[in-house]
A and B are shown apart, each in its own frame.
Chain A
Amino acid sequence: MSEEVKVFGAWGSPFSRRVELALRLKGVQYEYIEEDIFNNKSPLLLKYNPVHKKVPVLLHNGKPIAESLVILEYIEETWKSNPILPEDPYDKAMARFWAKFLDDKCLPALWKAGWSPENEREKAVEEACECLKTLEGALNGKRFFGGATVGLVDIAANFIAHWLGIIQEATGHELLSAEKFPHLFKWTDEFVSCSIVKESLPPRDKLLAFFKDRIAGAMDAPTEASK
């Protein structure tokens, strides 16, 4: 059965990379289309995601889906190998809760803390650390949020595993340290060490250069499009 699977993404976007990771974990072949999200979004992207006009968009047999967490659930329900969500409804609910927590609270707080002007930084860092502390608790000594293997929450937390460290290096401000958040810190290592994960991450030096370039300018919070 030949299926048409396409991903409209952006090389530096954690949201876009989430979708690629999920497809790779399930061994799904796909065609990748790089979008110039800052300067020149393609007519196809605008056609397939008219509401938000953002990446990622998954196109499956001509039908488009937008919003990375929605796409991840679709991928899970369509390709059954290597499940990324648990079977049990309660465990599934917990995974969805944490994925939502990441997107609604955690990522915006981390982004804000990374780029805040001097006078706002202390408060932003405090909020970000609260989020990290909560995640540390959620990990609860497990190897991955998903347990023994990478799951939805690990995929959703990809920003923390890769992007956050690079932003820390670019800005010189540390948020996630091994001393403060030992389990979460260890998790970042475990996560990026998985070969399939490694393949689906943007190159470190390219991202670092990108952040350094934009360090002086004002940046909006990361949403599906901006990174």
Chain B
Amino acid sequence: MAKEVKLFGMWASPFSRRVELALKLKGIPYEYIEEDLSNKGPSLLKYNPIHKKVPLLVHEEKPVAESLVILEYLDETWKHNPILPQDPYERAMARFWGKFIDEKLLPTSAKVGLSKGKEEQEQAMEEVHDQLKILENELKGKEFFSGNSIGYLDVVANILFWFRTEEEVGGLKVLSTEKFPMICEWIEKLIKIDVVNECRIPKEKYDDYVKLRQKASKSASS
């Protein structure tokens, strides 16, 4: 099926990297276009006029936006190497947890970065930890979030690598092995897999990432 697939993405965006990871896991060839978020290209704005964001998948000239929507589209269009389970109930669970990560964990962890003062930061951290505990629980008795092999929820949970990155660049310690042994073990397992490792921020780009985060928090608080 020689169809044209383009991905507009950004190297430091976990949402963008999710889609890349799914494409790689499913063995779908694609052309990658790196977007400078401070200077978005006309193609991106034309294809995603409503949100003007990455990631944006363009398949046969038709654009699909929103990473979770894109993941489902990939699974339905390319049937091999499915990332979502077949059973409707298990699919519902995968979607539920995907939503939890994006709608609860992410905004809560963003609050940590935007906190002013120690007390506010500690409170935000506590909220993050409560939510991480819930996620940790989901790994009980499982090799991966999706069961015996990597799937949709592992792809969506990629933001946990970003939590780890924050620590490695001297940021806040969100994920300790004492508190979250299973999540930490899951991260270790995953980053040993080549395609997964290709889809996260490489060590040599950590400084660039820190600069980006600083710029983002400055503009968020201005």
Q: Can you name 8 A-B residue pairings with CB atoms under 8 Å?
A: A60-B89, A63-B89, A66-B96, A71-B92, A74-B88, A77-B88, A93-B73, A100-B66
Which B37-88 residues have C-beta < 8 A from chain A? 50, 59, 62, 64-66, 68-70, 72-73, 76-77, 88
- Does B91 interact with chain A (Cβ within 8 Å)? yes
- Size category of the B interface is 20 to 34
Q: How far is the CB of B62 from chain A (nearest CB, A)?
A: 6
CB within 8 Å of B: which residues of A? 51, 60, 63, 65-67, 69-71, 73-74, 77-78, 89-90, 92-93, 96-97, 100-101, 134
In whole angstroms, how far apart are the Cα atoms of A54 and B78 in the complex? 35
Shortest Cβ distance from B113 into chain A, in angstroms?
21
Once the chains are docked, how many angstroms separate the CA of A97 from the CA of B96? 16
Q: Which label, helix, strand, loop or mixed, suits the secondary structure of the B interface?
A: helix
The digit string for B83-126, where 1 denotes a CB below 8 A from any CB of A, is 00000110111011001100000000000000000000000000
A-B CB proximity, top 9 nearest: A89-B76, A77-B88, A93-B73, A74-B92, A70-B95, A96-B69, A89-B77, A65-B92, A93-B64
A73 and B95 contacting across the interface, CB-CB below 8 Å: yes
Is B134 an interface position by the 8 A CB rule? yes
B72 and A134 form a contact (CB under 8 A): no
Q: Which residues of B contact A60 (CB under 8 A)?
A: 89
Inter-subunit contact A90/B64 (CB<8 Å): yes
For residue B134, which residue of chain A has the nearest CB? Answer: A51
Residue ID in chain A nearest B59 by CB atoms: A90
Which B positions have Cβ atoms within 8 angstroms of A? 50, 59, 62, 64-66, 68-70, 72-73, 76-77, 88-89, 91-93, 95-96, 99-100, 134
Task: For residue B188, give the distance in angstroms from its CB to the closest CB of chain A.
Answer: 26
Add 18 more A-B contacts to A74-B92, A77-B88, A93-B73 (CB < 8 A).
Answer: A65-B89, A65-B92, A70-B95, A70-B99, A71-B92, A73-B92, A73-B95, A74-B88, A74-B89, A89-B76, A90-B62, A93-B64, A93-B69, A93-B72, A96-B66, A96-B69, A100-B66, A101-B50
Query: Which residues does chain A contribute within 8 Å of B59, judged by CB atoms?
Result: 90
Interfacial chain B residues near A67, Cβ < 8 Å: 95-96, 99
Other-chain residue from B66, B77, B88 in contact with A97 (beta carbon distance below 8 A): B66
Chain B neighbourhood of A65, CB < 8 A: 89, 92-93, 96
**Alpha-carbon separation in the docked complex, A66 to B91 (Å):** 12
* Most chain B beta-carbon contacts within 10 A, residue among A67, A70, A93, A101: A93
- B73→A51 contact, CB < 8 A: no
Shortest beta-carbon distance from B82 to chain A in Å: 13
A90-B73 in contact (CB<8A): yes
Chain B proximity of A131: nearest CB distance (Å): 10
CB distance from B28 to the nearest CB of A (A): 13
Known contacts A73-B91, A134-B50: does B73 contact A92 (CB below 8 Å)? Answer: yes
**What distance in Å separates the Cβ of B64 from its nearest Cβ neighbour in chain A?**
5
Chain B nearest CB, measured from A153 CB (Å): 13
Q: How far is the CA of A60 from the CA of B91 in the complex (A)?
A: 14
> Could you tell me if A92 and B92 are in contact, using CB atoms closer than 8 angstroms?
no
Q: Which residues of the partner chain A approach B72 to less than 8 Å between Cβ atoms? A: 92-93, 96
Docked Cα-Cα span, A155 to B92, in Å, equals 18
Q: Which residues of B contact A73 (CB under 8 A)?
A: 91-92, 95
